Structure 1
Amino acid sequence: MTLPLAVLVPSLPAHERWFVESQQAGDWSFFLSPLPLVLTAAVVAVTVAWRVVALRVDRPELPVLRPLARLVPWVPRLLGIHLGVALLALAATGAFITPSNDHLSGAGGTALLLVEAALGIWLVTGWQLRSAATLVLGLAPALALVAGVTALGECANLAAVAAFLVVVPPGPDAYGTAHPPQAQLRWALLWLRLGVGVALIVLAFSEKLTNPAMAIDTLEHYPALDVFALVGVHVSPETFVAIAGATELLFGLLVISGAFPQVAVLVAMVPFNATLLLFGQTEMVGHLPVYGVFLALLVYGSSEETFRAVRWLPRRAGRRVAVPAAA
C-alpha cells in the first residue's frame, strides 16, 4: 500500500474515548504545525474538486448498484431500527448515548438509561417515529450536562438520524413505506449529511488534531491500527496522528458535500468495518447509526429519482450553491 492509498483508510477508530482513558483536547499547537495544516488544505481541495466533478455527472455514478433503489421507500423505517437498536444496546450496557459515557450513577443516571431504553424500543416499533425522534433530540441538554458540550458534536450522528426521522418519518402502513415530496426529502438528507459530517469533523479535532496525546496513547494500546507498519512503512506517531485526523476530516467533508455518495460510502465502509475485528461489540453498537446513514446515502444515491437530493445544498442570497438546475 503506497502512502496516498493509505491516506484513504482511517488509521484510528472514529471514537478513541470508547477504548482508552479520555484526555482533554485543545492542543491547537499540533494542528497549527506544518503537516496538519498542509493535509487539511489538501483535504479541502480534494472535497471541492470531488463535488465539482460529481455535479457534472447527472446520474448515479455506479449503475451496478441500481437495484438498491428498490429500498428507497423503506429507508426511514430502516433508520429508525438502526437508531433504536443502538439506543437500546447502549442502555443495556449502562452507557448514555455513547459507549464512553458509561459512568452514570444514582437515580438520575438510572432514569436517563431507562428513558434511553424506552426510546430505543419505541423507535424499533416504527409507531409515530416523528415524536420518538423529537424526544431523542431532546436528550441533547442531558448529554451536554453529563458529558460536556464537545460530546454533542461527537454524537451528532445520532441527532442526524433523529432529525431525518422528524422530517421524513416512516409511513403509517404496516411496512412503514414513505414517499415524501422531493423538497422534504432534500432537507431530510441535508440534516442527515450535516449531522454525520459534523460528528466526523469534531472527532477529527477532539481526538486527533487537537488531542495528539490521546491518539498516540490509542496507538500504543492498539498497535494493529498502524496500517503503515503493516506494509513496512514507518512513520512517526505524530505523522500518523496527522494523517488519521486528516482522513477523518476528509470523510466528514465528503459526507456533507453529498457528492458521489455511492463511492464515498463504499470507501468509508472499509475502515468502519475493519475496526470491528479489533474492537468488536462496542464498535458495532456505537457505529450502528452511522451504518444506517451510510445505507441511506447508498440507497438514495442509487436511485434515478433521488440521487440529486443526496447532493443538494440550499440556495443562498438568491443563488444556487453548486447545484445543477436539474437538482
Structure 2
Amino acid sequence: MTLALPALAPALVPSLPTHERWFVESREAGDWSFFLSPLPLALTAAVVVVTVLWRVVALRVDRPELPVLRPLARLVPWVPRLLGIHLGVALLALAATGAFITPSNDHLEGAGGSALLLVEAALGIWLVTGWQLRTAAALVLGLAPALALVAGWTALGECANLAAVAAFLVVVPPGPDAYGAAHPSRAHLRWALLWLRLGVGVALVVLAFSEKLTNPAMAIDTLERYPALDVFALVGLDVSPETFVAVAGATELLFGLLVISGAFPQVAVLVAMVPFNATLLLFGQTEMVGHLPVYGVFLALLVYGSSEETYGAVRWLPDRSPRRSVVPAPVA
C-alpha cells in the first residue's frame, strides 16, 4: 500500500492489490514451494533493494518532497480526530453487516457472536463521538484475542491495520476541546507514527504471503472470478496466472515495506491511492468499508509528511546505537 520507484512502476504496479478472502472462498496458505520458485524470489529481492534505496535517498532530502502539498499541514492538529472517525465508522459498518473486524469474518453464530458484534458497534460509535478516545482505542486493541480465537492468527496479522490506528490513538488521542485538536510532544508523535506504520506495513506483508505468495490457488481463483483485476490484459500483455500472482504479491509486499520505512510519504501515499481506489470500482462497498482504516492512515501520513515540523517524525526509527560519551577538551 505504498509506492514503487518510477523505474520499477511498470513492472510492479499493474496488479491491483485486494483482499481475496473478502470475495472468494478462503483457503489455507502455506504453499512455500511457490514463493521459493525463481520469479517470486527474484521479485522479493528486488522489492527489498528498492525499499532500502528508497529510504537512503529520502534521508538525503531534508524537507517534504512535494512542497505543493504544504497547505495540508494545517490539518496536523486534527489528524487523531480524523483517524478516530475512520476507525469508528469502519467498526460500526462491519458490525452492521454481521462481520467482526474484517469483512471475511462474517460467520459468527450464537450469543457469543452477537455479543462481539454489539461490542464492535459500541466501540465504533464511541470512536466517532471523539470522547475519551484513548480508552476506546485501548478496548479496540483488547479485541485481538477474540479475533484470534474466532478467525485464527493469520486473520490477526491481516487486520493489524486496525490495531495500528488504535495504537496511534492510545499514544496520541484527540485533545479535550470541541474540535479535538491535539498537540503532542515530538517523542509521542514519533512513537505513534511508528506504531501506525508498523501495523499497516505488517498487515500488507502478511496479506502478500497469506493470500498470494504462499496461497497461489486462492489468488488464481480470485483472478478467474474477477478478470478485470488483471491490468496486464488491459494493456495487451498475456501473462500466466502464476506470473500475475507473483507480481501482485510483490506489489503488496513493496507497499508494506515502504509504509514501514516512512520514506517519501507524500509520494508513497499518492501512488498507493491509485490501486486502492481503483478496486472500489470493482468491489464497491465491501472494499470501501474494509479499507477505511487504511484510508485514514494514508491521510495521516500525507498530512504529517507535508508539514515542516512533523515530516521527520514520519520516517523516524528508534536509534539503538550506543551513544558516545563526550570528553571535554582540556582547559589551557
Residues of 1 paired with 2:180 and 2:2: CA distance? 46
Q: Match for residue 233 of structure 2?
A: 229
Query: Structure 1 residues 263, 4: closer, same or farther in 2, change over 3 A?
Result: closer
Work out whether residues 51 and 254 of structure 2, in 8 Å CA contact, stay in contact via their aligned partners in 1: yes
By how many angstroms is 1:318 displaced?
2.1
Query: Structure 1 residues 142, 298: closer, same or farther in 2, change over 3 A?
Result: same
The one-character-per-residue Cα deviations of 1:285-307 (angstroms, maximum 9, x if unpaired) are 00000000000000000000000
Query: Structure 1 residues 261, 34: closer, same or farther in 2, change over 3 A?
Result: same
Query: Structure 1 residues 124, 323: closer, same or farther in 2, change over 3 A?
Result: farther
Q: Considering only aligned residues, what root-mean-square deviation do their CA atoms show, in Å?
A: 4.3
Residues of 1 paired with 2:174 and 2:148: CA distance? 29
Structure 2 alignment gaps of length 5 or more: none
Work out whether residues 186 and 312 of structure 1, in 8 Å CA contact, stay in contact via their aligned partners in 2: yes
The one-character-per-residue Cα deviations of 1:93-142 (angstroms, maximum 9, x if unpaired) are 00000000000010000000000000000000000000000000000000
Residues of 2 paired with 1:323 and 1:227: CA distance? 61
Residues of 1 paired with 2:123 and 2:19: CA distance? 23
The one-character-per-residue Cα deviations of 1:143-184 (angstroms, maximum 9, x if unpaired) are 000000011110000000000000000000000000000010
By how many angstroms is 1:317 displaced?
3.5
Q: Match for residue 89 of structure 1?
A: 93
Query: Structure 1 residues 100, 62: closer, same or farther in 2, change over 3 A?
Result: same
By how many angstroms is 1:7 displaced?
9.8
Q: What is the aligned counterpart of 1:296 among 285, 292, 300?
A: 300
Q: Match for residue 62 of structure 2?
A: 58
The one-character-per-residue Cα deviations of 1:267-314 (angstroms, maximum 9, x if unpaired) are 000000000000000000000000000000000000000000000000
By how many angstroms is 1:15 displaced?
1.0
Q: What is the aligned counterpart of 1:39 among 24, 43, 58?
A: 43
TM norm structure 2: 0.94
Q: Match for residue 141 of structure 2?
A: 137
Work out whether residues 8 and 247 of structure 1, in 8 Å CA contact, stay in contact via their aligned partners in 2: no
Structure 1 alignment gaps of length 5 or more: none
By how many angstroms is 1:63 displaced?
0.2
Work out whether residues 2 and 255 of structure 2, in 8 Å CA contact, stay in contact via their aligned partners in 1: no
Work out whether residues 126 and 176 of structure 1, in 8 Å CA contact, stay in contact via their aligned partners in 2: yes
Query: Structure 1 residues 316, 241: closer, same or farther in 2, change over 3 A?
Result: same
Work out whether residues 12 and 219 of structure 1, in 8 Å CA contact, stay in contact via their aligned partners in 2: no
Residues of 2 paired with 1:250 and 1:214: CA distance? 20
Give 1:86-125 correspondences, 5 Å limit.
Answer: 86-125=90-129
By how many angstroms is 1:11 displaced?
1.7
Number of residues of Structure 1 aligned to a counterpart in Structure 2: 327
Residues of 1 paired with 2:179 and 2:277: CA distance? 28
Query: Structure 1 residues 69, 113: closer, same or farther in 2, change over 3 A?
Result: same
Query: Structure 1 residues 324, 123: closer, same or farther in 2, change over 3 A?
Result: farther
By how many angstroms is 1:316 displaced?
1.2
By how many angstroms is 1:208 displaced?
0.1
Query: Structure 1 residues 214, 6: closer, same or farther in 2, change over 3 A?
Result: farther
By how many angstroms is 1:5 displaced?
9.2
Work out whether residues 276 and 284 of structure 1, in 8 Å CA contact, stay in contact via their aligned partners in 2: yes
Work out whether residues 7 and 247 of structure 1, in 8 Å CA contact, stay in contact via their aligned partners in 2: no
Residues of 2 paired with 1:130 and 1:58: CA distance? 33
Query: Structure 1 residues 229, 48: closer, same or farther in 2, change over 3 A?
Result: same
Percent pairwise identity: 90
Work out whether residues 84 and 121 of structure 1, in 8 Å CA contact, stay in contact via their aligned partners in 2: yes
Work out whether residues 5 and 50 of structure 2, in 8 Å CA contact, stay in contact via their aligned partners in 1: no
Q: Match for residue 4 of structure 2?
A: 4
By how many angstroms is 1:217 displaced?
0.2
Work out whether residues 312 and 323 of structure 1, in 8 Å CA contact, stay in contact via their aligned partners in 2: no
By how many angstroms is 1:196 displaced?
0.2
Query: Structure 1 residues 5, 133: closer, same or farther in 2, change over 3 A?
Result: closer
Residues of 2 paired with 1:51 and 1:41: CA distance? 16
Work out whether residues 79 and 293 of structure 1, in 8 Å CA contact, stay in contact via their aligned partners in 2: yes
Query: Structure 1 residues 322, 67: closer, same or farther in 2, change over 3 A?
Result: farther
By how many angstroms is 1:60 displaced?
0.1
Query: Structure 1 residues 126, 3: closer, same or farther in 2, change over 3 A?
Result: closer
Residues of 2 paired with 1:322 and 1:199: CA distance? 42
By how many angstroms is 1:14 displaced?
2.7
Work out whether residues 157 and 290 of structure 1, in 8 Å CA contact, stay in contact via their aligned partners in 2: yes
By how many angstroms is 1:324 displaced?
24
Residues of 2 paired with 1:182 and 1:2: CA distance? 24
Query: Structure 1 residues 201, 121: closer, same or farther in 2, change over 3 A?
Result: same
Residues of 2 paired with 1:45 and 1:111: CA distance? 46
Work out whether residues 7 and 243 of structure 1, in 8 Å CA contact, stay in contact via their aligned partners in 2: no
* Structure having the higher Rg: 2
Work out whether residues 313 and 323 of structure 1, in 8 Å CA contact, stay in contact via their aligned partners in 2: no
Query: Structure 1 residues 8, 115: closer, same or farther in 2, change over 3 A?
Result: farther
Work out whether residues 92 and 124 of structure 2, in 8 Å CA contact, stay in contact via their aligned partners in 1: yes
SS of the residue 2:5 aligns to: helix
